[in-house]
Amino acid sequence: MTLVAILAMPLVGALIVALLPRDDGKQARNMGVVWSIATFLVSLSVLFNFDVNDSAMQFELSVPWITAFGINFHVGLDGISLWLVLLTTFLMPVVILSSYRSVSHKVKEFIVALFILQVGMLGAFVALDLFLFYVFWEVMLVPMYLIIGIWGHGRKAYAALKFVLYTMVGSLPMLVGIIYMYLTHGAATGNYTFDYTVLTQSVWNQSAQLWLFAAFALAFAIKVPMVPLHTWLPDAHTQAPTPGSVILAGVLLKLGTYGFIRFAIPLFPWAAASYAPYLSGLAVVGIIYGAMVAYVQDDAKKLVAYSSVSHLGFVMLGMLAMNVTGLTGSIYQMLNHGLSTGGLFLAIGALYDRRHTHLLDQFGGVWKRMPVFGALFMLCLLSSAGLPGLNGFVGEFMILVGTFTHQRDYVAGRVPSVWIYHSRAMAGAAATGVVLGAVYLLHLFQKLMFGPIINAKNATLRDASAREIWAFIPLVVFMFWMGLYPKPFLERIEPSVKTMIVQHQQKFAASLRHVDGPPKRVRELVGLSTSASQRLAMGGGR
Amino acid sequence: MNAVIRATDFVHTLPILFVVGWACLVLLAAALSSDERRVDLGPLSALGLAIGICIAAWSWSEHAQPATGLFASMVVVDRFAIFFDVIFMTAALFTSLLSRGYLREHGFSESGFYGVVLLACAGMMMMVHAADFVALVLGLETMSLAIYCLVASWVGQRRSAEGAIKYFVMGAVASAFLLYGIALVYGVTGSTNLAVITRKAWTLSSEPLFIIGMLFIMAALAFKVALVPFHMWTPDAYEGAPTPITGFMAAAVKAAGFAILLRAIGTVFSAESVVFGSAGWANVFVILSALTMSVGNLFALRQGNIKRMLAYSSISHAGYILLGVIAMATVPDSARANATAQGPVLFYLMQYAITTIGAFGIVTWIGRRDAQRLMLDSWSGLASTHPWAALAMTVFMLSLAGIPPTAGFFAKLYLFSAALQQPGLLWVVIIAIFNSVISVYYYLRPVVMMYFQSADSSEAGEPSHSPATVFVLALAVLLILAIGLMPSSPLAWADASVLAGR
Amino acid sequence: MIPTGDVLIVALTMFALGLLGVIIRRNILIVLMSIELMLNSVNLTLVGFARAHGGSVGTAGHGFSFLIVALAAAEAAVGLAIVVAVFRSYRTVNVNNVNLMKR
Mutate which: B73, B145, B186, B207, vs C, most C CBs within 10 A: B186
Query: Measured between CB atoms, which of B148, B176, B187 is closest to C82?
Result: B148
User: Nearest residue of A to residue B449 by CA position?
Assistant: A157
Any chain A CB within 8 A of the CB of B403? Answer: yes
Q: Which residues of chain A have pLDDT under 50?
A: 410, 412-413, 532, 536, 538-542
pLDDT recorded at residue A101: 79
pLDDT recorded at residue A410: 46
Cα→Cα distances A473→A339, A480, A486, B493, Å: 11, 11, 19, 56
Under an 8 A CB cutoff, do B162 and C15 touch?
no
Q: What is the mean pLDDT of residues B92-104?
A: 91
User: Nearest residue of B to residue C85 by CA position?
Assistant: B161
User: How many B×C Cβ pairs under 8 Å?
Assistant: 122
Question: Is chain A in touch with chain C: ≥3 Cβ pairs within 8 A?
Answer: no
pLDDT at B289 over 80: yes
Under an 8 A CB cutoff, do B444 and A164 touch?
yes
Under an 8 A CB cutoff, do B159 and C64 touch?
no
The CA distance from C5 to the nearest CA of chain B, in Å, is 11
pLDDT recorded at residue B465: 62
Any chain C CB within 8 A of the CB of B165? Answer: yes
pLDDT recorded at residue A466: 87
- Domains along chain C with CATH numbers: 4-91 (1.10.287.3510)
Q: Residues A306, A293: contact at Cβ < 8 Å? A: yes
Name chain B contacts of A149, Cβ cutoff 8 Å: 448, 451-452
Q: Is the peptide bond before A173 cis (omega within 30 degrees of 0)?
A: no
pLDDT recorded at residue B459: 53
d(C-alpha C79, C-alpha C58), whole Å: 31
**Residue A309's domain spans which residues?**
2-50+59-540
pLDDT recorded at residue A447: 87
A270-274, B345-349, B376-380: range with highest mean pLDDT: B345-349
The answer for residues whose C-beta is within 8 angstroms of residue A114's C-beta and 6 or more apart is A32, A92, A95, A96, A99, A143, A147, A243, A247
Range scoring the smallest mean pLDDT among A310-314, A499-503, B358-362, C97-101: C97-101
pLDDT recorded at residue B21: 95
What b/e string do you get for B435-465 counting C-beta neighbours within 10 Å, with b at 16 or more? bbbbbbbbbbbbbbbbbbbeeeeebeeebbe
Name chain C contacts of B169, Cβ cutoff 8 Å: 22, 28, 31-32, 35
Q: Which partners does chain A have (≥3 C-beta pairs < 8 Å)? A: B
Q: How many domains would you assign to chain A?
A: 1
pLDDT band at B54 (very low <50, low <70, confident <90, very high): very high
Higher pLDDT, B35 or B57: B57
Q: What is the mean pLDDT of residues B78-105?
A: 92
The CA distance from C2 to the nearest CA of chain B, in Å, is 17
Q: What is the pLDDT of residues B396-415, one digit of tens each?
A: 999 999 988 899 998 998 89
Mutate which: B448, B483, B485, vs A, most A CBs within 10 A: B448
pLDDT recorded at residue B167: 93
Mean of all residue pLDDT scores within chain B: 87
Q: What is the pLDDT of residues B59-73, one digit of tens each?
A: 999 888 888 888 888
Name chain B contacts of C95, Cβ cutoff 8 Å: 165
Any chain A CB within 8 A of the CB of B429? Answer: yes
Under an 8 A CB cutoff, do B452 and A150 touch?
yes
Query: Measured between CB atoms, which of C22, C61, C82 is closest to B164?
Result: C82
Query: Pairing mode, if any, of strands A71-77 and A58-66?
Result: antiparallel
Q: What is the pLDDT of residues A154-202, one digit of tens each?
A: 888 889 989 998 998 888 899 989 989 998 998 888 888 999 999 998 9
pLDDT band at B4 (very low <50, low <70, confident <90, very high): confident
Q: Residues B362, B247: contact at Cβ < 8 Å? A: no
Q: Where are the beta strands (DSSP E) in A25-91?
A: 58-66, 71-77
Question: Is chain A in touch with chain B: ≥3 Cβ pairs within 8 A?
Answer: yes
Under an 8 A CB cutoff, do B183 and C45 touch?
yes
Distance of CA C13 to the CA centre of its chain: 13
Query: Measured between CB atoms, which of C67, C89, C90 is closest to B137?
Result: C67
pLDDT recorded at residue B335: 45
First vs last C-alpha separation in chain C = 50
Q: How many CA atoms lie within 13 A of A222 on its CB side?
A: 21
Q: How many CB atoms lie within 10 A of CB C14?
A: 19
Residue A75: what are its φ and ψ, rounded to 5°? -125, 155
Amino acid at B279: A
User: Nearest residue of B to residue A23 by CA position?
Assistant: B384
Q: Where are the beta strands (DSSP E) in B72-202?
A: 75-77
Q: How many CB atoms lie within 10 A of CB A31?
A: 18
Under an 8 A CB cutoff, do B451 and A142 touch?
no
The CA distance from B238 to the nearest CA of chain A, in Å, is 28
Q: How many CB atoms lie within 10 A of CB B17?
A: 16
Q: What is the pLDDT of residues A373-432, one digit of tens each?
A: 999 999 999 999 988 889 889 999 999 988 887 655 545 445 555 566 777 888 888 889
Higher pLDDT, B157 or B246: B246
pLDDT recorded at residue A150: 87
pLDDT recorded at residue A22: 67
pLDDT recorded at residue B340: 60
Under an 8 A CB cutoff, do B492 and A168 touch?
no
Name chain B contacts of A164, Cβ cutoff 8 Å: 440, 444
Q: What is the pLDDT of residues B108-163, one digit of tens each?
A: 877 889 999 999 999 999 999 999 999 999 999 999 999 999 999 888 788 889 99
Under an 8 A CB cutoff, do A139 and B487 touch?
no
pLDDT recorded at residue C39: 95
Name chain A contacts of B421, Cβ cutoff 8 Å: 183
Range scoring the smallest mean pLDDT among A294-298, A470-474, B264-268, B469-473: B264-268
pLDDT recorded at residue B420: 83
- Angle at B59 (CA atoms; ends B56, B63), nearest 5 degrees: 140
pLDDT at B22 over 70: yes
